[in-house]
Amino acid sequence: MTGHFLKAEIHCHIEGAAPPALAARQAEKYGIDPSTFLKDGSYLWSDFSEFLVSYDRVAALFRTDEDYALLTETYLAELASANTIYSEIIVSPDHGDRIGLGADFYLAGISEGIGRAREKTGIEARIIVTGERHFGPERVIAAAEYAARSDNPLVTGFNMAGEERMGRVADYARAFDIAREAGLGLTIHAGEVCGAFSVADALDLVRPSRIGHGVRAIEDADLVARLVDLGTVLEVCPGSNIALKVYPDFEQHPLRRLKESGVRVCLNSDDPPFFHTSLEREYEIASHQMGFHDAEINAMTRTALEAAFVDDDTRTRLL
Ligand code: ADE
Ligand code: ZN
């Protein structure tokens, strides 16, 4: 059991956290046939491209601010029941726009869900606005502009998720310039589907304090040394990496080698039901399958909180 660990995560996509039972209820509510992406209580996909398609279909089941409030509260309440004190939620205004809800109501619903969960459980959360790489540079820039002009105090960071094989980081650098200029924390998905070059591009062109996944940096020893020197935090999602076949099993996952090289790492659930995981399970895997001692696991939680995009008072209270 890992219930005794205090937990925190800084990498979970809101639509990717939708429990299949909730998605099924939403599909019924809107008269949508879910059989192309949901079967027997599991999401259907077989590789990364199909996962992204399934993800977008699940996102399209959440259509009002109240739908998003319910989804966010449900996700955070489950985390809180597993002794989690902090979460950073990755949200894409494009999903709000695509469904006709609009980015403002989309963000308002998610913020409402955060407020309800905080009131009931004490869990703290922040919002990271993301651009989806496969929607193209213009949409990613629009997401950065949206985040930059947002006066929502819960919006504290900017990210880029989606199809890492589309274009190069340079095509999206302008979006990160806009977000940096606005004082947002920066993180970017890199080194998940693509190799070390993608992490190197991210460091060169985005200069983020954190990288989503980043695990394939292990393929380049000089790059690992660079991550150590810079103190860049890798938001590692082992269950996601195994489900997506980035590595064949947990024994061959590079988390331990990265940590022992001195890279700052933490544990995250990414899109938990899509990858048959939860933050609690990630801690269990680290403890029981990857052989991390309790002190090492607690250090990873601390790293997540140190790297969190929060004000100093909140960080001090959480640490
Ligand atoms: N969007 C949701 N989950 C993702 C992942 N693991 N990688 C890239 N984009 C994503
Ligand atoms: Zn992710």
pLDDT in the model for residue 2: 75
**Spatial distance between the Cα atoms of 6 and 302, rounded to a whole number of angstroms:** 9
| Arithmetic mean of pLDDT, 261-282 | 98
Specify the long-range contacts of residues 197-204, CB closer than 8 Å, at least 24 apart. Answer: 198/164, 198/169, 199/223, 199/227, 200/226, 201/168, 201/169, 201/170, 202/169, 203/227, 203/230, 203/232, 204/169
pLDDT in the model for residue 302: 98
**Spatial distance between the Cα atoms of 260 and 254, rounded to a whole number of angstroms:** 10
| Arithmetic mean of pLDDT, 260-278 | 98
Task: For residue 54, give the ligand nearest its CA.
Answer: 1
φ, ψ (nearest 5 deg) of residue 94:
-60, -35
Nearest residue to 101 (alpha-carbon basis) of 70, 62, 150, 144: 62
| Arithmetic mean of pLDDT, 40-47 | 96
| Arithmetic mean of pLDDT, 271-298 | 98
Where does the pLDDT of residue 1 fall: very low under 50, low under 70, confident under 90, or very high at 90 and above?
A: low
* Pocket test residue of 50, 51, 88 for ligand 1, highest count of atoms within 8 A of CB: 51
Ligand 2 ion local residues (Cβ < 5 A): 270
Q: By alpha-carbon position, which residue is closest to atom 6 of ligand 1?
A: 270
- Average pLDDT over the chain, rounded to whole? 97
* 1 within domain boundaries: no
Ligand 1 is surrounded, with C-beta below 6 A, by 13, 16, 55, 161-162, 189, 192, 240, 270-271
pLDDT in the model for residue 316: 98
- Residues 94-150: pLDDT tens digits? 999 999 999 999 999 999 999 999 999 999 999 999 999 999 999 999 999 999 999
* 19 within domain boundaries: yes
Give the predicted TM-score (pTM) of the model: 0.98
Domain that holds residue 156: 7-318
Query: Would you please indicate which residues are annotated as catalytic (active-site) residues?
Result: 192
Please, where are the H alpha helices in the chain?
20-29, 48-59, 65-81, 93-98, 103-121, 137-149, 173-181, 196-205, 221-230, 238-243, 255-261, 279-284, 294-307, 312-318
Task: Tell which phi-psi region holds residue 79, choosing left (phi > 0), alpha (psi between -120 and 50) or beta.
Answer: alpha
pLDDT in the model for residue 242: 98
* 2 within domain boundaries: no
Q: Is 276 annotated as a binding residue?
A: no
% of the chain residues with pLDDT over 70: 100
Residue 3 has pLDDT above 80, yes or no: no
Q: Which two tokens stand for residue 183?
A: 């004082």
- Residues 67-88: pLDDT tens digits? 999 999 999 999 999 999 999 9
**Spatial distance between the Cα atoms of 57 and 53, rounded to a whole number of angstroms:** 6
Question: Ligand 1 centre from 171 Cα, in Å?
Answer: 19
* 304 within domain boundaries: yes
The domain tally of the chain equals: 1
Task: For residue 49, give the ligand nearest its CA.
Answer: 1
- Residues 202-247: pLDDT tens digits? 999 999 999 999 999 999 999 999 999 999 999 999 999 999 999 9
* 275 within domain boundaries: yes
* 311 within domain boundaries: yes
Question: For the domain that residue 64 is a member of, what is the CATH number?
Answer: 3.20.20.140
Ligand 1 atom nearest 164 alpha carbon: 8
Q: Which two tokens stand for residue 49?
A: 């491209």
φ, ψ (nearest 5 deg) of residue 157:
-150, 165
φ, ψ (nearest 5 deg) of residue 226:
-65, -40
Q: Which two tokens stand for residue 244?
A: 């997506």
Q: Is 270 annotated as a binding residue?
A: yes
Q: Is 11 annotated as a binding residue?
A: yes
Where does the pLDDT of residue 266 fall: very low under 50, low under 70, confident under 90, or very high at 90 and above?
A: very high
Nearest residue to 143 (alpha-carbon basis) of 130, 161, 157, 127: 130
